[in-house]
Every structure is written in C-alpha cells, then in structure tokens.
A and B are shown apart, each in its own frame.
Chain A
Amino acid sequence: MTGTGVTNVLDVRKLSKVYGAGDTAVHALCDVDLTVRRGEYVAVIGHSGSGKSTLLNMLGCLDAPTSGRYLLEGLDVADLDERQQAVLRNRQIGFVFQAFNLIPRTTALANVELPLVYAGVGRRRRRERAMAALALVGLQGREDHRPNELSGGQQQRVAVARALVTSPALLLADEPTGNLDSQSTADALGLFDRLHASGRTIVLITHDDEVAERAERVVVVSDGRLSEAPARR
C-alpha cells in the first residue's frame, strides 16, 4: 500500500464527473489529467462552481468518477474495496472540508482524535497527538469546546488539526483559509509551509491569490477543465 517507489503520488487520467442524468446532467469535470509528484505543493484556483471541490473529493477517495482513472501511490482506487478505501483515507490522506464537517455535540478534542480511533491508536497516545495537533493550529485551551461553541475560523482550524493528526503523506484542503482573518491565514500558511518543507504533498483549493502564491505550482479549473497556470519563480 505504501508504494514509495512511485514518484507520482497522484496520477489522474481523463477523469470526468457528471452529476445527474438527462436534461439536468451537470458536467462538473471533463477529461481532467493531473499528476502531482511526491512532496509537491499545488494550489487549485478557479471560479465558484468550476469543479474544484468535485476534483478534490475524488482525489480524497470520497467520491467515484464517472469515467477515467485515478491512481493514488500507483494504485488504481477503483480496484480497492470499501474497507481498503477506508484504510487509504485513514492512513494516507488528510482532508479538510470546505464546510469543516465537524461532528456536532462532540468536543474539539474528540473530533481531532477520531481518525486515530479508526487507525487503532491507543487512548493515551491518541490524546497526546490530538492535543499536539490542536496546539499546532493555536487552539490549546479549547479542547473541550463543542463545534457550536467555536467561531467559524476556530472550527476551520479544528478541521485542519483533524486532517493533520494522523501525519498523512497527502494533505487535501478545500479552502482551508476561507474563514480566517489575515493573522490566522498567515499562521495557517506558515503551517503548510512547514509541512511542505517536511516532505508532505499538499493540494489545496483557494480563492486567495496570496495563498496561491505560496504554492510551488498553481492549476486553474474552469468549467470543468484543467489548465496549468504559467510557472512563476
């Protein structure tokens, strides 16, 4: 499952996604090709409704494409059964949702611990790592707050902590700074920079040019088609 010999962490070929059928069908993605190398930091930009989240959901094994192939660490995801995909999501991928998706009526700490529970990490160890992840996003002292007791930005940071807690090789984040003020955004970007420096592969969606500038590579999605933005640096 590790496949460390493969240089392309993500390898997407002719990927299409159609929502619905017949007259109401929406072609959210059309024949998208994308490869991401190990340790790359990629920003995805594009207008609202262009298909960014659709793409990221498929990269995170949360949704299945209508057609095309998707290799993660050289493995075709379509060949994996439910349980294997669950293991993949748990061990390889950290996912930050655009809508945070914290579990309601459950403390920040328990939310962050959740992926570790499914990974089979023991209680004490789990707690330590979850506390560390919360500290990393500047939320120490808020462990026992429930999502409805946290601000939007704080919830977003809990979501980031939850994605980081398993130390995944691949971090997929859907507008992780969308709800943050400039200071928190700077903190979060600093965090991503450090993760990138430590060799993690990062794909993040953003509307913010400042955020996109920090990435090594920027891809643009428009009307379901993908194009490479001219290289800078």
Chain B
Amino acid sequence: MSVVEIVRFAVRGLVANRLRSLLTMLGIIIGIAAVILLTALGNGASQYIQGQIAGLGANSITVLPRQPPETAGTSGRPLTTGDVQALADPQGAPDVASVSPVVQLSTSVDAGRSRTDAIVVGSTPSYFPGANVQVGTGRAYTDVDVEAGRKVVLLGRTVADDLFGVGSDPVGRDVLVRGVPFDVIGTLAPAGQGQGLANPDENVLAPITAVQGSLTGFGDLSQIVVQARSTEAQAAAESEINSILDRRHGIEDSENRDYQVLSARQLADVLDDTLGAFTLLLAAIAAISLVVGGIGITNIMLVSVTERTREIGIRKALGAPPSAILGQFLVESIILSVVGGVLGVAVGYAGTLVPLGDFRPVVLPSAVVAAVGVSAAIGIFFGAYPARRAARLRPIEALRRE
C-alpha cells in the first residue's frame, strides 16, 4: 500500500463530495484571508503614520509655556532668553545640537492690493534645521541679519501664492507686516499636508530681532525650538531640557511644570500605542475567523468520518491496515487545509493590493505563517482524531454503523 494509493483514495474521497470539500475550504480561505488582510491593514496604517511622523523632523523638540495647574499655587514663569542660553550650554545639555528662541504672532500681511493672514515666526537661523523647514527660493536669513535686526522675510508657499499669485517668486518684493515694510528674501519649500504641529506653508519667517523690534516688543518667548544631536539622542535631550528648566523655574513636582516639551517622538509613541491596540484588535477579529475556519474543517472531518464509517468497515474487511485508513483521512484533511490555506493566502494578498485612501495594507509575513500554520494544525489534528477512532474499530462494528 503505497503513499500514492493513499493520496489517490483521499483525492477520490474529496472529489466524490465536491460541494462539501469546497465549502470546507471556503471556511479556511476566509479565515486565512481575514488574518492576512486585517493584520496587513493594521501594519500598513502603522507604517503610514510612522512615515508621516518622520516628516515632522525626528530630531525636533518644541518647548511651550503652559499654565500650571491651580494646585501649584503660582501662575508660572514665561520662557525667556535666559532659558535659551541655559539650554544652549553644552555642559548642562550635551545632547542638544541647537536652541532657537521663537516669537510668534498671528497678523495680516499686505502686498500692494492683496492681503492675507499669516503666522509670523521670529527666530534665529538654527530654526531652519531645528524645525525641519527648507528654503524653496532665495535664501535663509543669517546671523548677520539677526544681529542687525534687518527687516527681511521668507514667505511660506501658501502665503506667497495668496499675495503674489500661485507659483510666483516674490524674492526682491516688499510686504507690509501689520503695516511695517519687510523685504522678501526667499520662500519656503512647500511642506504639504500632515506636517502636524505647525504648517510652515502658512508661516512668514523673519529674524527674531526684527519681529521683536517692530512688532512684539522685547518680551517673553512664544516657544523654544531645540534640535537634538541625533534621533537616538532625543530622549536624553528631552530629559536634559526638563532638568534645566525645572531648576531655572523652581519646579519640584513635574505635575506643576509651567512649560511643556513636545516632540515628534512623543507623538510617535502615543500613536504607536494606539496603533498597536488597533492592530491587536484586528488580529483578534482575524484569529476568531481563523478558529471558525478550523472548526469548519473539524466539523467536516467528523461528519465525513462518521458518514463513511461503513466504508471504513468495508475497507478494513478487505484488508486495509489501520495505517492506510488513518492515512487516507489525514491526507484528506491535509489537502483541504493546504489547498484552502494557499488559496486563502492568495485571496488575502490580492485584497492587500487594493489601496485604501492614502495608505496601502502591508502584508506581515509572520501573520501568513501563523495563519497557515494554525489552520493546518487544526485541520490535521481534528481530522486525525476521528480517523484514528475509525481506524481502530473492529470491521464488523464499523459496518454496523449507519
């Protein structure tokens, strides 16, 4: 009794019950396709969001003033140039690459007949790498511009489009910021959507001295932008910032801080946690459908063996050894789960090729392996169990079953 004969019997058994075999396989196909598709969705969403966060500037840290809670008993101190100098000290903050003081105001900007609203950001040249802002046309302002308090600006893409027409190059023109004339020395590269905290397209960048001198006065800072030495150094840089500012602001309990530190990393952590939970949820749903598929095989194998107990009896009476009976049913369930598994992977993979909005599902190889493995294991185990029982029956007992 060769393996070939056993396989032939198994195939004949499956073909003789074509519809039932197909329906069983359908259960496995749906289960496996669901696992692959749902985990791919979670994975794709996670990769998409991580990509978006990387666009925020992975090394960038923003320090903002904050109203401390009432229990702190103080209204808190503002952020000052003193804070900037302390953070720029390489002794106290070795993981900080640059520190940029920022003053901001939201105001109208005029160019001849057109006018628009924009956020004017006054800072130092280190702001450009620090906030991950690129120059599109013209040049960035320099330390010389800052020291001299020159009234020069770079316009964000949207601002330039609104004032001078879409795609125009306004370098060399003049604008009035709250009535004060500034020279346009450049534009910012379009950042597009998804830049998170601030959208540079709607910003107007100018030297901090010029903004303070003619617009806001020399008061407190709106924020401090810090650049960490590297992505890896970001967490260290954040804790250095915390300890320096806590000391300077006299804060003992971190709950009572009068400032907050924001970074892309924190955002990524929060989103990662959320996405992790989301993926887990999808995986749980998928696992349920897989179990349902597995129960499908089990059910069919039980029915198949029970229904064919008589046939098993005949085969035994004609001299089939127990191993041949066991083998036949085992091979039947293996064929069902393997063919169903392969088709399920194909269907699931095909499903992931459909783009959903901005992101694409990304297949997790581990999910494929787990799905196919689990369904095959369920199929084989529960296929083997009734077959083993049948193979052990005395021929006459098997023959008597109806």
Interface residues of chain A, those whose CB is within 8 Å of chain B, are 57, 60, 62-64, 82-83, 86-91, 95, 97, 101-106, 114-115, 117-120, 162
Contact = CB atoms under 8 A, between A and B. Distances in A.
Nearest to A105: B16
Nearest to A126: B5
B321 A118 contact: yes
Contacts of A82: 321-322, 392
Given A118-B324, A120-B1, A86 B319 contact: yes
Interface residues of B, number: 25
Contacts of B12: 106
Interface stretch (B57-65, B90-98, B348-356, B394-402): B394-402
Interface stretch (B189-197, B247-255, B308-316, B331-339): B308-316
A163 to B, nearest CB: 9
B144 interface: no
B318 A90 contact: yes
A119 B5 CA distance: 11
20 contacts: A62-B317, A62-B394, A62-B395, A63-B394, A83-B321, A86-B319, A86-B321, A87-B319, A88-B319, A89-B318, A89-B319, A95-B318, A101-B317, A103-B315, A104-B311, A106-B16, A114-B315, A118-B1, A118-B318, A118-B324
Centre residue among A64, A97, A117 by max chain B CB count within 10 A? A117
Interface string B11-40: 010001000000000000000000000000
Nearest to A86: B321
Contact of A64 (B2, B16, B392, B394): B394
A91 B321 CA distance: 12
A62 B396 contact: yes
A86 to B, nearest CB: 4
B402 to A, nearest CB: 11
A117 B5 contact: yes
B320 interface: yes
Given A82-B322, A86-B322, A114-B318, A63 B2 contact: no
A60 B314 CA distance: 13
B323 interface: yes
A131 B1 CA distance: 20
Interface in B89-135: none
Given A63-B394, A120-B1, A103 B311 contact: yes
A90 B1 CA distance: 12
B95 to A, nearest CB: 74
B394 A115 contact: no
Interface in B257-291: none
Given A83-B323, A86-B320, A101-B314, A63 B16 contact: no
B8 to A, nearest CB: 9
Given A64-B394, A104-B311, A119 B399 contact: no
Contacts of B320: 86, 90, 118
Nearest to A82: B322
Contacts of A83: 321-323
Contact of A90 (B311, B319, B394): B319
Contacts of B397: 63
Nearest to A95: B317
A60 to B, nearest CB: 7
Nearest to A165: B318
Contacts of A97: 317, 399
A118 B314 contact: no
A106 B319 CA distance: 18
A117 B1 contact: yes
A102 B313 CA distance: 11
B396 A115 contact: no
A115 B323 contact: no
A95 B313 CA distance: 13
Contacts of B311: 103-104
A86 B399 contact: no
Contacts of B318: 89-90, 95, 114-115, 118, 162
Nearest to B310: A101
A91 B313 CA distance: 17
Contacts of B396: 57, 62-63
A97 B399 CA distance: 10
A57 B317 CA distance: 10
A109 B318 CA distance: 15
A104 B313 CA distance: 13
Contacts of B321: 82-83, 86-87, 118
Interface in B362-402: 392, 394-397, 399
Contacts of B399: 62, 97, 101
A69 B395 CA distance: 19
A106 B392 CA distance: 24
